[in-house]
Amino acid sequence: MIKRFVVLLVIAITMSGDIGLIQDDGEVHTVTVDGFGSNLRFVPDTLTINEGDTVQFLWSGQLLPHNAIEQNEVFNSGDAERDVDYTYTFNYNQSGVYEFYCEPHRDLGMVGEITVIDVEESNVTIEDDVETSSNDITNEKNSLINLNILLVLGLVVLILIYFRTKIDDIPKI
């Protein structure tokens, strides 16, 4: 009986596939401070990323202390320091243009810009006159997830029926 239960459990797991929601973690983009030139500019000073991507402000051993502050305080690495390792991840509803600066050196032109692209809009491609959008992919994934959930529920019902019939076959005293 335990062997049958294990077999049914293995079949249920195999049929279910990936039931969890698929989460794209995005890319990590690094912004540093120009260490070979003036030491007063971000590298790169302009960056184009997707929603869900992370920007890491990373520098160490700088002659002058720096920080990275978004113009509308969307992100802020804190007080200016010579060693900074600060990350900010843009959510899936934060498309737009974000201007940032180094507080002590803003007037000297130490500014930057991050353009965050809407993932839904950027995933529309045309190949051989066929248009595919992320909505279609998302709907397909959701359909597969729903199908997997129904298969697992059906298997659970079959297991319950199996054990119910086994209980009914026990002779009564």
Q: List pLDDT tens digits, range 149-169.
A: 877 888 787 787 777 766 656
> How much is the average pLDDT of 80-100?
95
Portion of the chain with pLDDT greater than 70, in percent: 65
| Residue 126 confidence (pLDDT) above 50 | no
Strand order in the sheet with 84-89: 42-43, 28-33, 54-59, 84-89
| 74: confidence class by pLDDT, cuts 50, 70, 90 | very high
| 137: confidence class by pLDDT, cuts 50, 70, 90 | low
Closest by CA to 39, choosing from 100, 105, 87, is 105
| Residue 16 confidence (pLDDT) above 90 | no
pLDDT of residue 81: 95
Say whether 30 sits in a helix, a strand or coil: strand
Residue 153: which residues within 8 A CB-CB, separation 6 or more?
Answer: none
C-alpha–C-alpha distance, residues 20 and 5, integer Å:
23
Structural domain spans, the chain: 2-21+126-168, 28-119
CATH fold of 28-119 reads Immunoglobulin-like (2.60.40)
Of 33-37, 74-78, 111-115, the range with the lowest mean pLDDT is 33-37
pLDDT of residue 52: 94
| Residue 2 confidence (pLDDT) above 70 | no
Q: What is the pLDDT of residues 39-55, one digit of tens each?
A: 899 999 999 999 999 99
